[in-house]
Amino acid sequence: MDSDAAFDLDGITWRPVSPKLAPVRVTIAVIALGLPLLAGLVLAIIFGGWVWTAPAVVALLLVWVLWLVPRQVRAIGYVELDEDLLIRKGVMFRSLVVVPYGRMQYVEVQAGPVARSRGIAHVQLHTASAQSDASIPGLPEAEAARLRDQLSAQGEARLAGL
């Protein structure tokens, strides 16, 4: 696919995020969609007929998510260059963000309960712009900590004004 090449900049090897991100996202999706699915099934069994469409739709959604998530996770990549952090994302809707270290205002590391149980975390770089969505989900905890320290150090060394 030559379109892929466009988001692969010259001489850059993207670092993938942890493959554990896929099961984490799937778990969350199953929890979020499982309850409506159950409720829909119960209602459908009681009332029958067209009510079956509700659980069917939810089930379709769940299957779609199960199919999509691994692809999405594989599409996430990041790379630390001398002056910038590059992050790419997306299968259908692709995006590539270039964040200069000097523009960093702060770094945030988050991990929810499901992610923590799998030992991964979410690193987000905040600039003065609300539009720069510089987040890397699904990094192994050690890598997240390293990246956080590295970004902080780089940001301090290259600090620019607004």
Q: Given the rule CB under 8 A, which residues bind another protein?
A: 3, 6-7, 9, 83-84, 92-100, 102-103, 127-134, 160-162
CA distance 107 to 99: 12
Question: Residues 94, 7: contact at Cβ < 8 Å?
Answer: yes
Whichever of 101 and 111 has its CB closer to another protein, that residue is 101
Nearest 5°: CA angle at 81, between 85 and 94?
A: 45
Whichever of 14 and 52 has its CB closer to another protein, that residue is 14
Least separation in angstroms between CB 118 and another protein: 29
Nearest 5°: CA angle at 93, between 30 and 1?
A: 110
Whichever of 94 and 146 has its CB closer to another protein, that residue is 94
Least separation in angstroms between CB 7 and another protein: 7
